[in-house]
Structure 1
């Protein structure tokens, strides 16, 4: 509550009054209400919404730059909402890093000193803080620029300095407040890719604020859409696109290119039948005949994908007294479960069915043209 005396407004809210009704009756503005959610360790949790939805206010409650009027904020079981000033400083130093939209760099300092600043105010020795800062600078790809003034850098490079400064203290949680919104579209896309690569490497918990839907869909393991201080929906990109919670969310995600969001795993079917690599050509032909298919995938006993064999190849192989291994095709296109559909569409036009295999090449499923078209057609229904 943005008020010095919020008790009456809180009472109205708890009795079911809306934000606008509270404003009319008390003149008090409700910033956030009924905000209940969990963030999982190691995920990128995106909080998005239009201007005024409460997303940045919420982020600032998490590290108590804004004090919540009521409720609890638990970080590893500790309630930061009731923490003393000393406890709060320690939590911020050890567990939380912040990356700002406007970079918040010190212009007369070098890149190295900017990155080391958080460690400096913690009282870390110069040698140790420079060592940690250099590691962070290398992590974000700025090695060689450590002696440069931040004013000499481009916007994208300055944002990397801000990110490195947050990483230098090795926090458990990164809070990023529209960190890329001030960047040009190309640089912004590059920074998004950089963040995903860093997350894959460092496995930080990241809370990312954005008003950009495409950015949220690209970055978020889960997304929370806010509307007027409330939570409209929480879910994965796919859950939100396929099952929007209300009309507001439906309008919010209207027009999204689903081919960039849906993955191979979302549209694949069970890979049945398959033929064992130790079987003969007659077995392969029999399976294809029984299931009315013209090709079949070949697997090892542990479901490792070995290749594919067609009816024509099997018949010809029988005539020449060849084995299944001799006539199957090993070099075939393979999708991974997290491959987006927009990358699969050109392949599926020429190759169907398309196998989906895990990183260790275990066959997970198959994709046919119809399943891709069906997933994309949901948007039109």
Structure 2
């Protein structure tokens, strides 16, 4: 067994789900087309071209989107303004009615549910947090967090007990009796997250929940978010326009443009194997050492070559840089069992630390 050099913790670790985890949410060939007679147009033109949509005087905010989101993963959707990411998430939760396609959650097609059935799913299985967290100003932190349980008909003693547990979870136990106006922006956002968590949703939608916060509070909230996910293992669909935020949080990322999902993959896959010039440009300014893993950039070991310290294949280049650069020989890149997969050379580390490609 190879001895693995210790890797310093640079951020809260993500509790990534297994890559073979079953899908929790599936959408197939999803469209959202705006304009007069959009439904009839889609029935007559199941897969229209952009030119056909424009010629009909319509606008396609989401075009033929298909996704499988695994149980327990943080799935991030990215894109520039107007790319369709928020519309897609609202279609997945049926806050916006798709024009065509299907959305399955727990083997049920959400688009075929009655209004009553959909309300029950939202109340008991879905949580939603948006940039504008819309706290009730006349209610305390406790009252705001307990509100969804009140809507569910949970008796007051039980709902307040559950709400207090979630308030403590997000670090606001001492402010349970405060009103929103008495809280900072970051604290208000924690209340919004706690309120969403109070109903114990299995599926959680978050639309740029941290974008209105200043950088320091935003970083703290990302740490808090990762801590909560390690404890709760929710299936999370998260929208952001910030690639650095996506790198810190995501298990996988979908990049959208003009309503189309261009590519889905890990941050490392998007950087190393972009599907288009658009994805390449989208990731061009990423600090590669924060994205690429030792296993992703290692090269084969030459016969009889001496190796230095061993580093985990899953470790980020930035995390093992000091170990590799201070060694007298290339580092051995090893899997979880200690088997050598390749070597990581100083030149590769330096190239990625300064942002260049190998």
Query: 1:140 and 2:193 equivalent?
Result: no
1:31 counterpart (39, 43, 61) = 61
- Measure the CA separation in 1 of the matches of 2:45 and 2:84: 16
Could you tell me how far 1:21 is from its partner in structure 2?
4.2
What per-residue deviation string (whole Å, max 9, x for no partner) do you get for residues 331-367 of structure 1?
xxx74444321232223221244466778xx535464
- Measure the CA separation in 1 of the matches of 2:129 and 2:355: 38
Equivalent residue pairs, number = 323
- Aligned partner of residue 30 in structure 1, secondary structure: strand
Could you tell me how far 1:380 is from its partner in structure 2?
3.9
1:2 counterpart (34, 38, 45) = 34
Could you tell me how far 1:42 is from its partner in structure 2?
0.2
More strand by share: 2
Query: 1:249 and 2:226 equivalent?
Result: no
* Aligned partners of 2:87 and 2:96 also within 8 Å: yes
- Aligned partner of residue 97 in structure 1, secondary structure: strand
Return closer, same or farther for 1:338/1:156 CA change in 2, 3 Å cut-off: farther
- Measure the CA separation in 1 of the matches of 2:184 and 2:132: 13
Q: Equivalences for 1:277-356 in 2 at 5 Å?
A: 291-293=304-306, 335-351=311-327, 352-354=329-331
The RMSD of aligned alpha carbons is 2.5
- Measure the CA separation in 1 of the matches of 2:287 and 2:154: 48
* Aligned partners of 2:288 and 2:355 also within 8 Å: no
Query: 1:223 and 2:198 equivalent?
Result: no
Q: Which residue of 1 aligns with 2:349?
A: 372
* Aligned partners of 1:271 and 1:364 also within 8 Å: no
* Aligned partners of 1:270 and 1:364 also within 8 Å: no
* Aligned partners of 1:9 and 1:28 also within 8 Å: no
- Aligned partner of residue 175 in structure 1, secondary structure: strand
Query: 1:262 and 2:292 equivalent?
Result: yes
Q: Equivalences for 1:1-381 in 2 at 5 Å?
A: 1-7=33-39, 9-10=41-42, 14=46, 16-18=48-50, 20-23=51-54, 25-268=55-298, 291-293=304-306, 335-351=311-327, 352-354=329-331, 362-365=337-340, 367-373=344-350, 379-380=356-357
Could you tell me how far 1:48 is from its partner in structure 2?
0.8
- Measure the CA separation in 1 of the matches of 2:234 and 2:241: 22
What per-residue deviation string (whole Å, max 9, x for no partner) do you get for residues 154-182 of structure 1?
11111111111111110001100110000
Return closer, same or farther for 1:364/1:148 CA change in 2, 3 Å cut-off: farther
Moved more, 53-62 or 263-272: 263-272
- Aligned partner of residue 211 in structure 1, secondary structure: coil
Return closer, same or farther for 1:109/1:358 CA change in 2, 3 Å cut-off: farther
* Aligned partners of 1:61 and 1:68 also within 8 Å: yes
Return closer, same or farther for 1:215/1:349 CA change in 2, 3 Å cut-off: same
- Aligned partner of residue 232 in structure 1, secondary structure: strand
- Aligned partner of residue 67 in structure 2, secondary structure: coil
Rg: which structure is higher?
A: 1
TM-score between the two structures when normalised by the length of structure 2? 0.83
Moved more, 369-378 or 151-160: 369-378
Question: Structure 1: which 5+ runs fail to align?
Answer: 273-289, 298-333
Could you tell me how far 1:270 is from its partner in structure 2?
7.8
Q: Which residue of 1 aligns with 2:13?
A: none
* Aligned partners of 2:287 and 2:352 also within 8 Å: no
- Aligned partner of residue 68 in structure 2, secondary structure: coil
More helix by share: 1
Could you tell me how far 1:57 is from its partner in structure 2?
0.7
- Aligned partner of residue 205 in structure 2, secondary structure: strand
